[in-house]
């Protein structure tokens, strides 16, 4: 099966909550870290599928501000996995014209070697425009909103000049378009503090498959399901507001 159409109905921005790694491992009587390890193949498959489908913005939720509560060895494993994955795939991300960005990476607990690789990859791929891959790492949607409010106040913006547009301009990466489609694997149906501002009008799809088993064909099924949705952005349906195009 493949994705045939690059057209109006391809979501511009897809965001994935990569859930179910722990359950995948438990089903196999393996340590949780084995589930994270197996997640790498899904990450690479989804980047490739999104790129092939013509998705221009892909965001992946790799580590939340709440994930610091997990056992130390699991946190360490995720840090090492992210670093290994980035180093391994940097050349092909660059060659494909993918710009890599990181949302978060603020916490002093992040190993300096990983922070350095993140900076290097952003520099290497910064001129690319074919697709923007944003890895949300040490990310919290509420924290981003609070930081934006602080930044507005520091900039001395008068209260009556605070609009949705001016506010959004103080979020990290203000050029990021709203998310059109969120895919959360494993059947869980929660937002979990993910890109709260940007998902305001997103469509949500909750495939039951666990993230380590998620592959390009599942991604294409989600794009098909998205294409069949009617997005109204709070409006009523008229001949000019049908379809998936943003207003």
CA-closest candidate to residue 134, choices 193, 74, 179, 67:
179
Percentages of the chain per state (helix, strand, coil), in multiples of 5? 45, 15, 40
Q: Which two tokens stand for residue 71?
A: 């056992």
Within 8 A by CB and 6+ apart from 29, the residues are none
Catalytic residue flag (residue 19): yes
Q: Where are the alpha helices (DSSP H) in 28-171?
A: 32-53, 72-95, 112-125, 141-154, 164-168
The answer to whether residue 140 forms part of the interface with ligand FPP (CB under 6 A) is: no
Catalytic residue flag (residue 67): yes
Residue 109 main-chain phi, psi, to 5 deg: -75, -10
Pick from 10, 11, 13, 19 the residue near ligand FPP by CB under 6 A: 19
Instruction: Write the interaction track for ligand FPP spanning residues 33-72; mark x where CB under 6 A is met and - where it is not.
Output: ---x--x---x----------------x-x----x-----
Stretch that binds ligand FPP, among 75-83, 116-124, 149-157, 176-184 (CB under 6 A): 75-83
Pick from 10, 46, 49, 78 the residue near ligand FPP by CB under 6 A: 78
The answer to whether residue 135 forms part of the interface with ligand FPP (CB under 6 A) is: yes
Please give the Cα distance from 61 to 140 (Å, whole number): 10
Degrees (nearest 5) of the Cα angle 69, 22, 206?
100
The answer to whether residue 99 forms part of the interface with ligand FPP (CB under 6 A) is: no
User: Binding residues for ligand FPP, per CB under 6 A?
Assistant: 18-23, 36, 39, 43, 60, 62, 67, 78, 81-82, 85-86, 135
Q: Which residues are catalytic?
A: 19, 67
Task: Specify binding-site residues for substrate.
Answer: 20-24, 32, 36, 64-66, 68, 70, 184, 190-192
């Amino acid at each position: 099966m493949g994705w045939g159409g690059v057209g109006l109905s391809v979501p511009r921005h897809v965001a994935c909550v990569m859930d179910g790694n722990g359950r995948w491992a438990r089903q196999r009587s393996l340590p949780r870290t084995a589930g994270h390890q197996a997640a790498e193949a899904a990450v690479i498959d989804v980047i490739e599928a999104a790129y092939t489908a013509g998705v221009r913005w892909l965001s992946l939720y790799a580590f939340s501000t709440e994930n610091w509560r997990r056992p130390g060895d699991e946190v360490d494993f995720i840090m090492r996995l992210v670093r290994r994955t980035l180093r391994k795939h940097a050349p092909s991300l660059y060659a494909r014209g993918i710009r890599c960005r990181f949302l978060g990476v603020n916490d002093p607990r992040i190993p300096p070697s990983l922070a350095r690789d993140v900076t290097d990859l952003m520099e290497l791929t910064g001129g690319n425009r074919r697709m923007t891959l944003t890895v949300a790492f040490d990310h919290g949607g509420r924290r981003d909103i609070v930081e934006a409010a602080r930044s507005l106040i520091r900039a001395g913006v008068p209260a009556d000049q605070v609009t949705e547009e001016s506010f959004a301009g103080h979020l990290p990466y203000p050029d990021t378009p709203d998310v059109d489609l969120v895919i959360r694997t494993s059947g869980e149906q929660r937002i979990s503090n993910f890109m709260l501002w940007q998902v305001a009008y997103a469509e949500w799809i909750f495939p039951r498959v666990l993230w380590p088993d998620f592959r390009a064909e599942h991604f294409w099924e989600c794009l098909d399901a998205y294409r069949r949705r009617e997005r109204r952005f709070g409006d009523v349906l008229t001949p000019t507001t049908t379809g998936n195009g943003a207003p």
